[in-house]
Structures are given as C-alpha cells and as structure tokens.
Chain A
Amino acid sequence: AQTVTQSQPEMSVQEAETVTLSCTYDTSENNYYLFWYKQPPSRQMILVIRQEAYKQQNATENRFSVNFQKAAKSFSLKISDSQLGDTAMYFCAFMKLNSGNTPLVFGKGTRLSVIA
C-alpha cells in the first residue's frame, strides 16, 4: 500500500517571500502521478500542480513549482512571491497509474499561513 507523509503540520511565511512544503511517499510502483491540492477555509479542494513520475522535468504553474526526486521519493512544493490568498491547507497526494483512474492517497496536510 502507498503512504504519503507531510512532516510539517504548520508553516508560516511573510507575504512576497518563498516557502517550501515537504512531502515524501512510499510506493513500489514505477508509474504514478503526484499532486498538490490546496484547501482554503471554503473547504473546496483545488488542484495546484501535478507531476507525472515518468517525467524528469519538474512541473511549474506560475508561482508554484515542485522539486520531484523520484529516487528519494520526495515531492516538495515551492510557492514563490507568497500572497495572502495562498493561506490554506495543502495536501500532497499520490495516484497509481493504471488503465483507468485509481484512488488518490493523501497526506495529512500542512497548514500554511501567509502573514502580511
């Protein structure tokens, strides 16, 4: 079974600064996807960024980028130029690649506070 570990329950960052959230995972699979989801107080789960394990290049979406280290089974999220609207819970998630969709396995989350 796959597991996802987020070792930082809470973090804070000054507005406009950069912050990195950690995520490690355990799997015997070779083909999979990794995700970061954002959950603001509204409770909506919002996809931030996605990485395919077979791609060596790190995914980037505007101010969000990842550092994917497949051998180390590490998948950290970097948020640049932090904004107040980035305040939320952030969840790392794993999905085994199959012929169809398979369930997401989530970490316990990191609560990020952006301070003005």
Chain B
Amino acid sequence: NAGVMQNPRHLVRRRGQEARLRCSPMKGHSHVYWYRQLPEEGLKFMVYLQKENIIDESGMPKERFSAEFPKEGPSILRIQQVVRGDSAAYFCASSPGLGFYGYTFGSGTRLTVV
C-alpha cells in the first residue's frame, strides 16, 4: 500500500502563474482533505471532498483557489494567479469513508512563489 501520494514534492511558481497540486489517496479511500501549513504554523483545513463532490470548503479562500476530486484520477488543488502569500506546504489526507477511521497524511507539496 503506497499511502497517500502527493506530487510534486516541491513546486516553484512565479507570481501570476498557476499552481496545480495533486493528491492520490490511499487505495480504498474515497475521502480527501486539503490542509495548508504556513511557516512556523500548524496545519489549517482548506477543503473536504468525496469523489466528484465538495463536502466542506469553509477553509478555502474565496478567490483563486479551487479543488476537485474526479471519478477517475487524483484530487487536484488549483491556485490561480499565485502571490507570495501562497507560499506554504500543502498537505493532503485521506480516509475510507463515513465514521471515524482516522486520517492518513501525504508528505505535502511545498509551494514557493518567487
């Protein structure tokens, strides 16, 4: 079992470009969560998705950020027109489904905006 796979591990973007972060959940997991970690901070919840549905996006910035989890393929966190303040580590976690089973985290993608 490969665990939660995130890629790329490091991503550098210039201001104004788009960033796409990918997350493949553990085999058998249909629930995905995205968290953002700013330097010297804890993780902050962004969005919770099931296959083809956004369940909770209360932590997502209203502009420039979007997330999807298609029927086939990984979950994608997309940041348009990146700014320096978007520089952070972005973590994905997955779980099997309803009822608490705990989360498995990926190793994160570190986004640097230059």
Contact = CB atoms under 8 A, between A and B. Distances in A.
A51 to B, nearest CB: 13
A3 B35 CA distance: 16
Nearest to B108: A43
Interface stretch (B17-25, B41-49, B63-71, B77-85): B41-49
B107 A104 contact: no
Contacts of A105: 45
B100 A33 contact: yes
Given A43-B108, A101-B31, A101-B48, A50 B102 contact: yes
B105 A44 contact: yes
A33 B100 CA distance: 10
Classify the interface of chain A: helix, strand, loop or mixed. loop
Given A44-B105, A45-B91, A106 B33 contact: no
Given A100-B99, A101-B100, A104-B45, A43 B89 contact: yes
Interface string A94-116: 01010111011111110000000
Interface residues on A, range: 20 to 34
Contacts, number: 57
A47 interface: yes
A108 B42 contact: yes
B87 interface: no
Interface string B84-114: 0000010101010111111101011010000
A54 B59 CA distance: 28
A44 B22 CA distance: 16
Interface of B: 31, 33, 35, 40-45, 48, 56, 59, 89, 91, 93, 95, 97-103, 105, 107-108, 110
Please provide the 10 A-B residue pairs with the shortest distance between their CB atoms, ordered closest to farther: A106-B42, A103-B45, A45-B105, A100-B98, A106-B43, A108-B42, A43-B108, A44-B107, A91-B42, A107-B42
